[in-house]
Amino acid sequence: MVRLPGRSTPRPPRSSGHPRAPHNPPRPERGRGRRRPGRLRSAVSGRSVAGQVFVLQVVIVLLLVVSAVVAQVLQVRHDSDVEAANRSLAVAETFANAPGTAAALRSPDPTALLQPSAEAARKATGVDFIVVMSTDGVRYTHPQTDRIGKKFVGDIGPALAGRPVTEHITGTIGPLVQVVVPVKDRAGTVVGLVSAGITTAHVGGAADQQLPLLLAAGAVALVLATAGTALVSRRLLRQTHGLGPYEMTRMYEHHDAVLHAVREGVLIVGGDGRLLLANDEAHRLLDLPGNAERRSVLELGLDDETAGLLASGRVATDEVHLVKDRLLAINQRPTDLRGGPPGSVTTLRDSTELRALSGRAEVARERLNMLYDAGVGIGTSLDVARTAEELAGLAVPRFSDFATVDLFDAVLGGEEPRPGTALRRTAAAGIREDAPLYPVGERIRFVATSPQARALTTGQSVVVSGLREETGWRAQNRERTDRVLDYGIHSLITVPLRAGSLVLGVANFWRADKPQPFDAEEVALAEELVARAAVSIDNARRYTREHSMAVTLQRSLLPRSLPAQGALEIAYRYLPAQSGVGGDWFDVLPLSGARVALVVGDVVGHGLHAAATMGRLRTAVHNFSSLDLPPDELLGLLDELVGRIDQDETPDGDAAVVTGATCLYAIYDPVSRRCTLARAGHPPPAVVRPDGSVEFADVPAGPPLGLGGLPFETAELELAEGSRLVLYTDGLVEDRQRDIDEGLGLLRDALLRTPGTSPEDTCRTVLDRLPARPSDDVALIVARTRVLDGDRVAQWQVPSEPAAVSRVRASVTRRLAAWGLEELAFTTELILSELVTNAIRYGRGPIGVRLLRDRTLICEVSDRSTTSPHLRYAASTDEGGRGLFLVAQLAERWGTRYTPTGKVIWAEQPLP
């Protein structure tokens, strides 16, 4: 075991090598009495050596005190018994040998003679009783007269034999000692017996008075011994740091083993600069002599810098010193920081090999960091060009001085690459911006001998350590490559961007400032970076292709241009969602009678499914509108269609794909200036009056399409000429940052700031004043109303008689002449003649005729019948059935629409 010179016992280390050893045990603080109770408690704890010594000494003192008290008590009891026996014997023999005792026993009444003298003797001697009895044991005397004449309790046999007898009994007056002696006459014959006795309580009075004093003295001795023991234990506690015997044994047994087994040198230097301790590693690292202990550190043959550090005792942290051929990291701390002895403890660590390893580890750590950054920094967006820029930006300047990424044009468009075509410089990064490399955006066709072409062909990386000697690379463009070499770029790694079997392009890493070319480890790192980037670029390419397909599908399903009509002046905007495509749509549908239908709808969700569903609903609206249905009936049919779509598209799993959609359908009549609306879960339309006031139309909110089971209600508005009807989807007024009420308020404010402007200006102002485009699609239609003036409308009531047909033809001919449409008079007369004749023959009155001059000439015949005529081919033997066929040939369009009171058959002719 290593011992410190000058110490009788080794000092335990302050380490926590043993699980129960305290770490940095507290030392007593002078002037702080409040710490003493804690020390005392530690001292009396039985777990430490000091505690065990304290407990042992206290137990020994306590045993001594108890033993003394017990011995004293036993001695007192023994002395009391002896004194009682002696006193009783003396009294009994004195009374037995007294003159007259023997004679009194022979008298006729011994009691009368002996009782007074016995009581007098008892009181005079202090015994408890004197009993005179016959040889038969019958009492003649007793302190209690009722006992006289009764048998004596005790052994009288020895006394009858002439010998005194002593007994210890417990009588009626307590524990006592009694003596029986014989009474003899002159001849020596036993004529009676005398017994005297005394209780032990009446004998030991003096001894009992000494017992409290003895106990007090024992208690004082115990307290003094305990206090002394506590002081000694406290001192011992400081020396042992509260360790138990087992802990101290283990600690001291392993002290040397641990000290000499560690891979660090340990030195302890005293306050006078002498070496007190050095373990084996310290001897090896410093090449110390065998007798180094107790010598000054300046005499150990160390270099001046190291010896000065050890002698100074100053704090040092990982100071590197060259000691002979070793680089030693030295840590030094003083030992008197917490009241310890003056000096210092020093640890030495050989860092010669660690320095070399740390350099390689730092490089490896930087490469791992690059790979980690590539995992989180490349592919943050589904944009091909952006992903390529992230790859180039990550490589510069941590890996290369310049980096470029070249991709096939097809990849940028989302298509699969076509080998043999030119590449486009997609991304570039560098430590400087004036490098003479191909700029971003330029199309490049690499020659077959270039490293890039070889990488594309073989799918393997190509490393060029010296570009000046690489003739295949210089053949690409002699003038540009010379400028690249003059710029200082000297080496290159070209790595193909491979995603599965596809080669998407190449990534080029150029080195200029660092003179060393790329090594094999750097090539592996470049391949790893490019492999991760290639997966992200391919994902972005696939997304671009799918997004382009979805956008193309969506655009093909939306109206490319608005149909010609004269009832509304219309402007619209459609903004697709920021990510993916949605299911918002709108339509403008010309109807019969110069009316126009406006439709705005929104399919729940995004993607191809929503776009396809939107196309189906838009086609259905076109078909249903051709039937001239009211808005509520049309929405009812759409609701049934969406329900069937949900049923047809239920997947094999447990959950069904609920399509869901909202829709607003409005019909505007320029003749009556009335607009009929119905909505299915859609936001209400806004109406801007000609005076600039804005209100949201009170249209009953029906359930979204697809729920089924509930009818839809209509609302009718009368719009003055010049009013603007604003229809929109919820993406305009609602997003994650605001609710729909706030969005409607913003829309109202935007419309209030656009009084009297055209629909085009209104669309522009609304989109400019509202917040940035939300994540959902936005469809917006602004329609300003027009009115068909009365001079362009003519109506007649026709009686239900065939003769009225000629009068109607004449009236129509005059109105056409007034409008300057004489060219249409003949065909119009034929059309009206057939329609009015059918109404008179098959319909119910009253019959009405209306002529409208709009973009076309519209003829309408109404009646109260709900039976619609059908176009058919008449047989050769039929006398009729050719009228509608004639109407279909003469008119551009014709049809039937139903009204609450009947039907209207209409026909349109183009104006000349």
Helix residue ranges per DSSP H, 597-739: 608-625, 631-648
Residue 13 corresponds to which tokens in the numbers above? 């280390």
DSSP 417: P
Amino acid making up residue 89: L
Using alpha carbons, list the distances in angstroms from residue 134 to 106, 152, 188, 229: 10, 10, 16, 67
- Asked whether the CA dihedral 277, 279, 281, 283 is positive or negative, the reply is positive
- Tell me the pairing of strands 462-464 and 847-853: unpaired
Scan for tokens 């490349």, then name that residue: 378
Q: Which of 263, 262, 243 is nearest to 251 (CA)?
A: 243
Q: Which of 900, 899, 873 is nearest to 884 (CA)?
A: 873
How many C-beta atoms surround the C-beta of residue 88 within 10 A?
Answer: 29
Cβ–Cβ under 8 Å, residues 501 and 346? no
Q: Which of 95, 113, 119, 103 is nearest to 195 (CA)?
A: 95
Q: Is 776 helix (H, G, I), strand (E, B) or coil?
A: coil
Q: Which helix (H) or strand (E) holds 859?
A: strand 856-863
Q: Is 499 helix (H, G, I), strand (E, B) or coil?
A: strand
Distance CA 710, CA 877 (A): 51
Cβ–Cβ under 8 Å, residues 854 and 593? no
Distance CA 881, CA 874 (A): 5
- Tell me the pairing of strands 129-133 and 190-199: antiparallel
Q: Which of 72, 260, 101, 84 is nearest to 175 (CA)?
A: 84
Q: 876: Cβ–Cβ under 8 A, 6 or more apart, which residues?
A: none
328: exposed, middle or buried (Cβ count in 10 Å: 0-12, 13-18, 19+): buried
- Tell me the pairing of strands 701-702 and 674-680: parallel
**Whole-number pLDDT of residue 360:** 64
Helix residue ranges per DSSP H, 263-351: 280-286, 304-312
Distance CA 511, CA 146 (A): 137
Q: Which of 474, 504, 502 is nearest to 489 (CA)?
A: 474
Q: Which helix (H) or strand (E) holds 728?
A: strand 724-728
* Bridge partners of residue 462, in order along the sequence: 494
**Whole-number pLDDT of residue 521:** 86
Which parts of the chain sit beneath pLDDT 70? 1-52, 172-173, 201-211, 214, 233, 235-254, 256, 352-363, 578-580, 648-659, 771-775, 870-883
Q: Which of 628, 762, 617, 758 is nearest to 686 (CA)?
A: 762
Cβ–Cβ under 8 Å, residues 226 and 214? no
Residue 127 corresponds to which tokens in the numbers above? 């015994």
Residue 819 corresponds to which tokens in the numbers above? 């409008």
Cβ–Cβ under 8 Å, residues 311 and 321? no
Distance CA 372, CA 369 (A): 5
Strand ranges across the sheet with 443-444: 443-444, 423-430, 402-408, 502-511, 491-499, 462-464
Distance CA 203, CA 165 (A): 19
Q: 477: Cβ–Cβ under 8 A, 6 or more apart, which residues?
A: none
Strand ranges across the sheet with 694-696: 568-575, 778-785, 724-728, 686-688, 694-696
pTM attached to this predicted model = 0.54
**Whole-number pLDDT of residue 240:** 64
Distance CA 837, CA 561 (A): 40
Q: Is 746 helix (H, G, I), strand (E, B) or coil?
A: helix
Amino acid making up residue 542: R
* Bridge partners of residue 895, in order along the sequence: 906
**Whole-number pLDDT of residue 649:** 63
Distance CA 640, CA 629 (A): 15
In the chain, DSSP finds a helix count (H) and a strand count (E) of: 23, 31
Residue 87 corresponds to which tokens in the numbers above? 């006193």
Q: Is 742 helix (H, G, I), strand (E, B) or coil?
A: helix
* Bridge partners of residue 430, in order along the sequence: 402
Residue 633 corresponds to which tokens in the numbers above? 């009936």
DSSP 567: S
Q: 718: Cβ–Cβ under 8 A, 6 or more apart, which residues?
A: 673, 674, 675
How many C-beta atoms surround the C-beta of residue 804 within 10 A?
Answer: 18
Distance CA 754, CA 121 (A): 145
User: How many angstroms separate the most distant Cα atoms in the chain?
Assistant: 200
- Tell me the pairing of strands 582-590 and 596-606: antiparallel
- Calculate the CA dihedral of residues 618, 622, 627, 633 and round it to 10 degrees: 20
* Bridge partners of residue 781, in order along the sequence: 572, 727
Amino acid making up residue 619: T
For helices 110-125 and 49-96, give the axis angle rounded to 10 degrees: 140
Residue 164 corresponds to which tokens in the numbers above? 């005194």
Cβ–Cβ under 8 Å, residues 346 and 330? yes
Distance CA 394, CA 382 (A): 17
- Note the residue count of the chain: 912
